[in-house]
Structure 1
Amino acid sequence: MEFYMKLPRSKKEFAIFIGIVSILSVNMIAPLITCPEAGFYLSVWQDALTVLPFIWMSVIAAVLLTYVPAEKLTLMIVSKKDSFRAQIVVNTLCTVLLMSILLTIIGSRIGTRSITLEPIRLFFYKWPRNFAISLFVELCIAQPAARLAILKLHLRKEAGKEE
Structure 2
Amino acid sequence: MLFHMRLPRNTKEFILFLGIISIISVCLIGSLIIGFETGFNLEIWQHSLKRLPFIWLAVVTIVLLVHPLADRLAKKIMAEDDSFNSQMIVTTLCNVLMISILMTIIGTWIGTGTVSLDPLYHFFYKWPRNFAIAFAVEALLAQPIARQVMYLIHTH
Q: TM-score surpassing 0.5? A: yes
Which entry has the higher C-alpha Rg, 1 or 2?
1
Paired letter, 2:75: L
For residues 57 and 102 of structure 1, what CA distance do their matches in structure 2 show? 13
Aligned to 2:73: 73
SS of residue paired to 2:53? helix
Residue 125 of structure 1 corresponds to: 125
Q: What is the CA distance between 1:72 and its match in structure 2?
A: 0.5
The code of the aligned residue for 1:117 comes to: L
TM-score for both structures, normalised by structure 2 = 0.99
1:98-135 Cα offsets, whole Å, 9 max, x none, are 00001000000000000000011111010000000000
Q: State the alpha-carbon separation in 2 of the partners of residues 79 and 14 from structure 1.
A: 24
What secondary structure sits across from 2:81 in the alignment? coil
CA-to-aligned-CA distance 1:8-47 (integer Å, 9 cap, x gap): 1111111110000000000000110011211111111011
Q: For residues 38 and 96 of structure 1, what CA distance do their matches in structure 2 show?
A: 23
Query: Runs of 4+ in structure 1 displaced over 6 angstroms?
Result: none
TM-score (norm 1): 0.95
- Give 1:147's aligned residue: 147
| Aligned sequence identity (%) | 51
Query: Structure 1 regions of 5+ residues with no counterpart?
Result: 157-163
CA RMSD of the aligned region, Å?
Answer: 0.5
Q: Distance in 1 between matches of 2:65 and 2:134?
A: 17
Equivalents in 2 of 1:68, 1:37: separation in Å?
31
Which structure 2 residues correspond to residues 1-163 of structure 1 after superposition, within 5 A?
A: 1-156=1-156
Offset of 1:152 from its aligned partner? Answer: 0.3
Provide the C-alpha distance between the structure 2 equivalents of 1:119 and 1:47, rounded to a whole number of angstroms. Answer: 20
1:61 corresponds to which letter in structure 2?
T
Counterpart-to-counterpart distance in 2, 1:123 and 1:38: 16
The aligned length equals: 156
